[in-house]
Amino acid sequence: MTLDALNISIAWPEIFLLSMTCLLLVVDVFLKQTQRNASYLIAQFTLLVTMVFIAVNMSGQRAEAFNGTFVVDPLADVLKLFICAVIAFVFVYSRDYLKDRNIFKGEFYVLGLFGVLGMMVMVSSNHMLSLYLGLELLSLSMYAMVAFNRDSGTSAEAAMKYFILGAIASGMLLYGISIIYGVTKSMSIPEIATSLLNQPAEMNIGLVFGLVFLIVGLSFKLGAVPFHMWVPDVYHGAPTTVTSYISSAPKIAGFAITIRVLVEGLGGLHSDWQGMLIILAVLSLAVGNIIAIAQTNLKRMLAYSTISHVGFILLGVLAGTKAGYSSAMFYILVYSVMALGGFGIILLLAKAGFESEELSDLKGLNQRSPWFAFMMLIFMFSMAGVPPTVGFWAKLSVLSAVVDINMLWLALVAVFFSIIGVYYYLRVVKIMYFDEPEDTSEIKNSTEMQIALSFNGLIILLLGVYPSALMSLCFSVFA
Amino acid sequence: MFADWPLLSLLVWTPILGGLVVLLAGDHGGAQGAKRLALIFSIATFVLSIPLFTEFDTSTSAMQFVEKYSWISSFNINYHFGVDGISMPLIILTTFITVIVVLAGWEVIKVKPSQYMAAFLIMEGLMIAVFSALDAIFFYVFWEGMLIPMFIIIGVWGGPKRVYATIKFFIYTFIGSVFMLVAMIYMYYQSGSFNILDMHALKLTMDEQFWIFIAFLMAFAVKVPMWPVHTWLPDAHVEAPTGGSVVLAAIMLKIGGYGFIRFSLPITPDASHMLDWLVIFMSLTAVVYIGFVALVQNDMKKLVAYSSISHMGFVTLGLFIVFMIWENPANSDLSGATLAVEGAMIQMISHGFISAAMFLAIGVLYDRMHSRNISDYGGVVNSMPVFVGFAVFFAMANVGLPGTSGFVGEFMVILASFKANFWFALLAALTLIIGAAYTLWMVKRVYYGDVANDNVAKLEDLTPREFLIMSLLAIAVLVLGLWPAPVIDVMHASVDNLLHHIAVSKL
């Protein structure tokens, strides 16, 4: 093995991130609680520089490293940039929340950054093992983060549930990988793809058997119905900062491994996984949107909303066309920004001893803070897919991908369930604008957070007015 | 001199940006600054819309004042504006009514007046954009976006059951429109473009046309609204603040009628032909049955709301009766069909003025008495003679008295219906009686008779502001009633072109 084959240079962002995270782990031990802001700043600095590294390394070409287990291509670059940016926002939103609850500790940032590293490895994986390693690194960080508030019973319960179900999902995924390995004699994704081309038809049964386990594992991680049971409990039980972490960037990474495994690896089995994804997508749309109506807890409502969005993303993937993958990618990026904002508002309203996670806690927000009520209005209408917000364009592009493959009925089903979805998003707007506030205290948060959240909302609006740039970017990735 | 101006972009963005400025002005000092700004922006928009009329070339049916830029290249979606004789009068109606609405909310709105004014200005921009968009997705963006300010207007400044009414309004419209979106995407893959004019030319099989027609019907029938999907309208009207009712009745309902002309008829002429009986049945039901429903209302706003549904029935009747006129062997030319469609158009514009005036009249009473129940009134004429003069005039226009704009449209549609089928015409003409019954009965109970109670005796007559609003609308109703020719001239070429287009089967 020579150093050339390692081709280390394209992995600089990951290497930097890993080194800085280890450094943070060490430095944090020597900080007093009053100096804890330093950990925060180091974490933000790390993400920023990582993004710079990614941007500088961007070549638009496909390159492999570590003997072909690690790949950098335009898809990976774009997704990694979004992951880092989203997590940087999560860290901004989290600081006040963590301080108010006396859990402002360096571990949050260390775990968060390790999670980012896991996501980046997932995004760049070109081999089933690197994919699995990335996924486990992310998952383990998240299990610990869910339980981050040690004194909270619900957090501990959520973490246990998440850990057990997540472990089962990982097992499924690993089992699927092993079956695929058994049939194709390889774990490298491009090699699986080539061996599929020369596969005798009678071997298909084994491949499909493995495929089922892979899809079950992926669905668990994405939170698609019927493997969604952990989502509402974990979203609800975890500290809100962690919920905003779990609900945003890891979905992007989940999308990435779906593309890596199903499209790049098992693209030859498209007709087999298409049917499975249709079932998952329709069920996710139905269950997500219908059950969300019954929720009184905003975090649970957003959890079910996430499930329905996953349904939409799967619609784009199952189309099996370049336009479909691009629209799914557009959707997932937009979704992560919307979810970030939605949980950001909860974090904004939370204060010491008050979680602000019930729907009724938003009552009369327009009278307390017209600006942030307007931001939440944008997030809600965007999730509902009402123009001129960017959520509309995400839905439009996915729907048109589905119509393009002559599955008009699927588009109609999706549209039907998004009508149901509109109701619960509208209810949030109704509570903010039409109800009288119960709590009239002023919203006190750092200016930094208020600016970030405003930026987050305006981005949704701006992208809604001019979606062309991001959309073209997503289309160019799969061109 | 205006030929080179991006007039339509200015018309769309002036009120939207104006709305944002008003929002920033806030409610300090009784929001006087915000209100003045709102008035300035609404008048500026109205003034900007005048060249649209004066510079309009009535000899062509082609789109005018066209602006086209690439917007979203991945889906070939364009920023594409343009008007023809069908949309132009509706845009002027919009800019005119918004000035009225800003004036009408001047003293009445106490809660967050800057947000109220801003919502109306933003909505004005969105509605103008709906009328002038020539790209289907561009159209759809504004069509849906329009719901957001209206949702807020009804929900924040509305009456006691406002939440129910506004959610019903939103969901009804949303259900109707998403299927239209799917139809548009489908046509995009057939024609490779979202350009509405390309869709007009697109060949479609009967099956395709049938389903596309149904999708459009769901969207536009809810918006018009046609019986049996009209039930959101009385709720929305009753709960909305006066300004909201005015915009809803005067402009938003017209968007449904406009949609039929711009999308349903030219894109799916064969399906429209095949299903014209359905639309005519729904229209006549609205005209007759909803008329009777209006008769028994106790709430003035509800009465006018039902009257709106009934009058809008004339619009859809006029649009879809054309096929029957052609089928009737007694007719040799297109003139009957032209009469029907132009009648429908005039009816839309006229109803915009009259319904606005009716709701404003109710608003004038409501601001003083805080009641809309007919039984709380009686003998208003004794304390408010000037106001009742206007109110009775508008009531007469609503009935369709010759000389008012209400007469022109209804007369044209009924006349055209005679060329199709005597019985349809008879049913449509019944509205003259039913309309007179419910309107004049309300007039009698509210304005005339003995003074009902002390509150009515203490009523004060119109303020100068209210007088101004009423006079502006009265002039509009009278001018359009006595001399509709300029408006008909404007739309004539476009209507002719439309009829020639739909007379040719796409199969």
Query: Is the bond leading into B228 cis (omega within 30 degrees of zero)?
Result: yes
Question: What would you measure as the largest C-alpha separation in chain B, in angstroms?
Answer: 69
Question: From CA B36, how far away is CA B203, in angstroms rounded?
Answer: 51
Q: Which of A374, A395, A433 to mutate to test binding with chain B, by most B CBs within 10 Å of its CB?
A: A433
pLDDT by residue (tens digit) across B85-113?
888 889 999 999 999 998 888 888 788 88
pLDDT by residue (tens digit) across A280-289?
999 999 999 9
Q: Please state the rounded mean pLDDT for residues A412-433.
A: 90
pLDDT by residue (tens digit) across B265-314?
899 988 888 888 899 999 988 888 998 998 898 888 899 999 999 888 88
Select the residue of A422, A426, A475 nearest B74 (Cβ to Cβ): A475
Q: Please state the rounded mean pLDDT for residues B353-380.
A: 87
Question: From CA A229, how far away is CA A227, in angstroms rounded?
Answer: 6
Long-range contacts of the stretch B467-470 (C-beta < 8 A, 24+) = B467/B386, B468/B103, B469/B100, B469/B103, B469/B104, B469/B360, B470/B357, B470/B360, B470/B361, B470/B387, B470/B390
pLDDT for residue B1 is more than 70: no
pLDDT by residue (tens digit) across A213-270?
999 999 998 989 889 889 999 999 999 999 999 999 999 999 999 999 999 888 888 8
Q: Which chain A residues have a beta carbon less than 8 Å from that of B174? A: 386, 419, 422
pLDDT by residue (tens digit) across A28-69?
889 888 888 899 999 999 999 999 999 988 888 888 888 888
Asked if A263 contacts A276 with a C-beta cutoff of 8 angstroms, the reply is no
Phi then psi dihedrals of residue B81, to 5 deg = -110, 155
Search chain A and give the residue with CA nearest B186: A403
- Stated pTM of the model: 0.91
pLDDT band at A126 (very low <50, low <70, confident <90, very high): very high
CB contact under 8 A, A396 and B163: no
Asked if A317 contacts A262 with a C-beta cutoff of 8 angstroms, the reply is yes
Work out the mean pLDDT of chain A and round it to a whole number: 90
Q: Which chain A residues have a beta carbon less than 8 Å from that of B148? A: 377, 381, 386
Instruction: Tell me which residues of chain A have a C-beta less than 8 Å from any C-beta of chain B.
Output: 326, 366, 370, 377, 381, 386-388, 392-393, 396-397, 399-400, 403-404, 408, 411-412, 415, 418-419, 422-423, 426-427, 429-430, 433-434, 466-468, 471-472, 475
pLDDT for residue B197 is more than 90: no
**Where is average pLDDT lowest: A122-131, A169-178, A198-207, B129-138?**
A198-207
Question: What was the pLDDT predicted at B334?
Answer: 65
**Residue A104 in tokens:** 């402002």
Helix then strand then coil, % of chain B, to nearest 5 = 75, 5, 20
Question: What was the pLDDT predicted at A2?
Answer: 64
Question: What was the pLDDT predicted at B155?
Answer: 86
Q: How far is CA B168 from the centre of its chain?
A: 19
Could you say which DSSP state residue B108 is in? T
Asked if B108 contacts B166 with a C-beta cutoff of 8 angstroms, the reply is no
**Which residues, other chains included, contact A430 with Cβ-Cβ below 8 Å and sequence gap of 6+?**
B155, B163, B166, B167
Select the residue of B70, B170, B188 nearest A400 (Cβ to Cβ): B188
CB contact under 8 A, A430 and B167: yes
**Which residues, other chains included, contact B410 with Cβ-Cβ below 8 Å and sequence gap of 6+?**
B311, B314, B343, B347, B400, B431, B432
pLDDT for residue B29 is more than 80: no
Select the residue of A386, A399, A423 nearest B185 (Cβ to Cβ): A399
CB contact under 8 A, B179 and A412: yes
Q: Which residues of A156-183 are buried (b: 16+ CB within 10 A; e: fewer)?
A: ebbbebbbebbeebbebbbbbbebbeeb
Question: What was the pLDDT predicted at B72?
Answer: 84
